[in-house]
A = this chain, B = another copy of it.
Amino acid sequence: MILLGNAGNKLWGGRFVGNTDPIMEKFNASIAYDQRMWEADVKGSKAYVKALQKAGLVTQNEMEQILTGLDKVFDEWSKGEFKIKPGDEDIHTANERRLKEFIGDPAGKLHTGRSRNDQVATDTRLWLRDAINTLKELALQLISTMVERAAVEIEILCPGYTHMQRAQPIRWSHWILSHAVALSRDVERLEDIRKHVNVMPLGSGAIAGNPFNIDRELLRQELKFDSISINSMDATGQRDFVAEFLFWASMCLTHLSKMAEDLILYSTKEFSFITLTDAYSTGSSLMPQKKNADSLELIRSKAGRVFGRCAGFLMTLKGLPSTYNKDLQEDKEAMFDTYDTVHAVLQVATGVISTLKVNQPAMEGALSPDMLATDLAYHLVRKGMPFREAHSCAGKAVYIAESKNIHLSQITVEDLQTVSPLFDKDVSSVWDYNRSVEQYSAPGGTARSSVTAQIEHFRTWLQAQKQKP
C-alpha cells in the first residue's frame, strides 16, 4: 500500500502524497465559519441515508447505525461539546469524521453518490430558509410597532418635507406609515426569496447527477423543499439565492437608512421633533451636553456594509466558469454577516421606534403659513383659475410676504388683489393646517380617513403574514 501524506484524512485525500502548505490549509478551510451550518449538514445527511437505503446502497441496519450516529453528532453540537480537529477542512468533513468515530466503517457509505458540491448547496439553502423565517418575524415586529404608534399618534400634525425643505402639512403618522410600507415590501420580497431558496440541489452529485437511482422526491419531502433542481450543473454551480438575499438585505437596510436619516434630523435641536430614550443614545467623552443618536447612525451605516457584501459576492460570481468552483465558498461569510447585521438592525430599530418621544408642540410649531402656499393656489383653482396661473399667483404672494418680512397669512386682501382680483376676504379660510391635511382624502393621502385606512390595511396584512406557514 502506498503511504499517504498529510492529506490522508481529507475527504479527497487518495491521490495526494505531498504535504500541503499550512498557510494554504488555513486559506482553503471553511470550517471556521461553515460550522455554523452544523445542524443543516446533519439534517441533510439523515435524509440522504434514507434515500441510500431505499436505493439498496446501505442496509436497514447500516442506515439505523448512521442515523443514530448522526443524532449523537447533533447532540454534541447542540451542547457545544463538538471538538473540531486539525484536518477538519469544513463542516462536512468534521461531521463525517465524528460519525466514523462513533460508528466505524458504515460511516464510509454515507457519501455514496453525493458530492460536497450538492451537499453544501443543500446545507446552505436549509440554513438560509430558517434564517429567513427569523428575519421575517423581526421585520413584522418592527412594522407592527410602527403601525400601532401611527394609530396612537394620528392627531399629531407636522411639516412634510421634500428635498428636505418644508413642503406641506402632513400627519406625523403618515410619515411613520411611509416607512412601514417600504418595510412591508421587504417582507413580501423576503417571502419570494424563500421560495427561490426552497429548491433542492441534493442528488446533483459533483456535476453530472446521481448514478444510483436515488429517489430525489423522497429527499425533497424529507427536507421539506418545494421542488427539485432541474439541472445538476446549474444546481451545484449557482448561488443566485444568496446573491438575491444579499441584495434584499441591501434594499431593506437602505430603507432603514432613510428612516434613520429622517429621525436623526428630527432629533437635532434645530428640529426638536423627537427625542430618543437614553437606551438608544450615547454621549460624548468630551462635550457634556451631547446626546447622539448613535443607534440610528449605526442603522444608517449598515446599509453600506451589507451592500458591500452583495457587491463583493457579485464580483466573485462574475465570469466564473460553469459548475462548482472554490470561489463559491465566499458565499457564507457574506450570508452570515448579512444575516447577523439585519437581525441586529431590525431589533434596534424596533426598540428605537417604540421608545422615542414625540414633541408635538415643536412639530406643530414648525408648521408655517408658507407651507400653505399650495392651498392658496388651490383656493384660486376652486374659483376657476387654471392651476398653472394659480401657482404663479401664489408664488408672487410668497414673494410679497418675503419682501415685507411677514407671514404669508398676514398679507392683506388688498395686496393679494394686486396679484389676482379673484382674492377676497374668504382667503382667511386657507390658513388652517387641519383643513389643509383633511383635503387629502383620496386613497394614499394624509387625511384622517386615509391614514386610518392605511392602518387598517396594515393590521389586516400583519394578521395574514403571521398566519402563513
Interface check A348, CB cutoff 8 A: no
Interface check A164, CB cutoff 8 A: yes
Interface check A445, CB cutoff 8 A: yes
Interface check A283, CB cutoff 8 A: no
Give the distance to chain B from A439, nearest Cβ to Cβ, in Å: 4
Which residues of the partner chain B approach A262 to less than 8 Å between Cβ atoms?
Answer: 321-322
Query: Given A318-B303, A319-B261: A13 and B392 within 8 A (CB)?
Result: yes
A113 to B442 Cα, complex, angstroms: 11
Taking the full assembly, how many copies of this chain does it contain? Answer: 2
CB pair A208–B13 under 8 Å, yes or no, is no
Interface residues on A, range: 35 or more
Chain A interface secondary structure, helix, strand, loop or mixed? Answer: helix
Which residues of the partner chain B approach A175 to less than 8 Å between Cβ atoms?
Answer: 233, 322
A205 to B378 Cα, complex, angstroms: 13
A311 to B355 Cα, complex, angstroms: 34
Task: Select the residue from A216, A233, A236, A457 with max chain B CB neighbours within 10 A.
Answer: A233
Question: Which chain A residues (272-303) contact chain B, with CB distance < 8 Å?
Answer: 300, 303
Interface check A74, CB cutoff 8 A: no
Question: Which chain A residues (434-448) contact chain B, with CB distance < 8 Å?
Answer: 437, 439-447
A13 to B389 Cα, complex, angstroms: 11
Residue of B nearest to A246 (CB): B247
Query: Given A262-B321, A319-B257: A2 and B106 within 8 A (CB)?
Result: no
Interface check A109, CB cutoff 8 A: yes
Interface string of A99-113 (1 = CB under 8 A from B): 000000111111111
A378 to B214 Cα, complex, angstroms: 14
Residue of B nearest to A111 (CB): B387
Interface check A162, CB cutoff 8 A: yes
CB pair A321–B164 under 8 Å, yes or no, is yes
Interface check A395, CB cutoff 8 A: yes
A210 to B398 Cα, complex, angstroms: 22
5 more A-B residue pairs beyond the given contacts A179-B234, A179-B322, with a C-beta to C-beta distance below 8 A: A111-B388, A205-B440, A213-B441, A258-B322, A307-B315
8 A–B contacts, CB within 8 A, in A order: A2-B396, A168-B206, A168-B208, A208-B446, A214-B442, A261-B320, A261-B321, A311-B311
Q: Give the 3 A-B CB pairs with smallest separation, nearest first.
A: A14-B395, A209-B445, A108-B388
